[in-house]
Amino acid sequence: MVLAACGRAGGGTNPSAPVATTAPVATSERGPPTTSPGVQPVGFDLVAVRVTNADGSVCELCTWRAATSAARQQGLMGVTDLGPADGMVFIYDAPATGRFWMSGTPMPLDIAWFGDDGTFVSAASMAPCLDGPSSACPRYGAEGPYAVALEVPTGDLADLGIGPGSVAAVGTGDGCDTP
């Protein structure tokens, strides 16, 4: 995955250029490509998410889109390989206050919530919850209503500079360029 001007060493040089994606993931940030196949999301399409950070830097991310109730409920459960995406974006038709959980989700994730106007609300790091009943899994909630939630592998929010002052905009259609 090539991330454009996202605060990562070795990122792209054109912050307005769409993300170029290839599989398997191979960037200096994520290490060498994986050789063993993992479980990728199924039934989701790709969409670009542009995050303008407080310092004015712009990140273009390629994400799996979860825009229906069923897709949001499934999320990244069982996923061990994001494939050509940087993460998953959860899109709501109206501001939401529901909490997220990691039941059946083996990848540790960071989540950032954004308000109806795209402004950063809050973020959290979420640990996998694979043992015991799902009712025993911790719930992670935003500090206020949100319309968009962005999940990425743990550590990526900080690496990308996403935090207070960031603003997210979700593209329409397949905003992720593939060679």
Asked if 110 and 134 count as a contact pair (C-beta separation under 8 A), the reply is no
Torsion sign, CA atoms 150, 25, 125, 98: positive
The average pLDDT across 44-66 equals: 94
- Which residue has better confidence, 109 or 28? 109
Q: Which domains does the chain have, with CATH numbers?
A: 45-170 (2.60.120.1140)
79-99 per-position pLDDT tens digit: 999 999 999 999 999 999 999
pLDDT of amino acid 133: 82
56-77 per-position pLDDT tens digit: 999 999 999 999 999 999 999 9
Asked if 131 and 105 count as a contact pair (C-beta separation under 8 A), the reply is no
| Structure token digits, residue 37 | 């196949």
Give the phi and the psi of residue 69 in degrees, each rounded to 5. -60, -45
**Distance between CA 107 and CA 118 in Å, rounded?**
26
**Distance between CA 6 and CA 19 in Å, rounded?**
11
What is the model's pTM? 0.80
| Structure token digits, residue 124 | 């959290």
